[in-house]
Amino acid sequence: MRVITIPVTPFQQNCRIIVCPETASAAIVDPGGDVEVLLNLIAKEQLKVEQILLTHGHLDHVGAADQIRNALGIKIIGPHPDEQFWFDALPMQAQMFGFAPIQSFYPDQWLAEGQVVAVGNLKLQVLHCPGHTPGHVVFHEPQSGQLLVGDVLFKGSIGRTDFPKGDAPTLLASIKDKLFVLDDSTHVLSGHGENTTIGNEKRTNPFLSGRFG
């Protein structure tokens, strides 16, 4: 799986474009903003973006999704339906985070634990990982050993749980029960900051070793 990373907005959210090397089909994951930057890159690279995948409903991850959906005539897939209240609250989120005004919009399809999303010949396994938000999902591509985790897990840290309906014990359980059972070599592609691996976070992440949290 080829992955193109484009940090967007002042929040430097890692928007990812994933590409199937066999078919050139692509999906854009968590387009949080900077619509023109993303559309220009898609055009320049001649990428066949066929869908938008969302890990959760925070504005810094979804801010450009509706405009890109309309511009390219594609569908928004995910996250889990427990995330709907964050999509209802998009206008409030814009005020809270200092974004330009935005109207509520919704995915074309919600996702659930155990579903598989196809991007060309790639098969992304959907893991429901609540805690940062209640409807957060993670996308696992086992063939390349890559894991798109949104704001669940970071290098040396974990997602915030102080937003509405966040819950720290639930987040820790999601990480330990859903992510830490994967191979240690699995590459973790986080929503902000550097990439890491499952093994590295097992060994060194202070929030999961009992030192913090």
Domain ranges of the chain: 2-204
User: Residue 98, by phi and psi: left (phi above 0), alpha (psi -120 to 50) or beta?
Assistant: left
Q: Which of 151, 66, 60 is nearest to 104 (CA)?
A: 66
Q: Is 76 exposed, middle or buried, given 0-12, 13-18 or 19+ CB atoms closer than 10 A?
A: buried
Question: Is 14 in contact with 157 (CB distance < 8 Å)?
Answer: no
Strand partners for 128: 137
The pLDDT value recorded for residue 211 is 56
The pLDDT value recorded for residue 213 is 44
Q: Where are the beta strands (DSSP E) in 129-193?
A: 137-141, 146-150, 153-154, 157-158, 187-190
* Alpha-carbon distance values, 58 to 11, 35, 96, 122 (Å): 12, 16, 11, 26
Q: Hey, what CATH topology would domain 2-204 get?
A: Metallo-beta-lactamase; Chain A (3.60.15)
Q: What are the 10-residue block averages of pLDDT along the chain, 213 residues in total? A: 97 98 97 97 96 98 98 98 98 91 97 98 98 98 98 98 96 98 98 98 90 50
Q: Which of 196, 120, 122, 152 is nearest to 55 (CA)?
A: 152
Question: Is 184 in contact with 202 (CB distance < 8 Å)?
Answer: yes
Question: Is 152 in contact with 132 (CB distance < 8 Å)?
Answer: yes
The pLDDT value recorded for residue 209 is 76
The pLDDT value recorded for residue 96 is 87
Question: Is 120 in contact with 130 (CB distance < 8 Å)?
Answer: no
Cα–Cα distance between 103 and 13 in angstroms, integer?
20
Q: What is the CB neighbour count within 10 angstroms for residue 31? A: 30
The pLDDT value recorded for residue 170 is 98
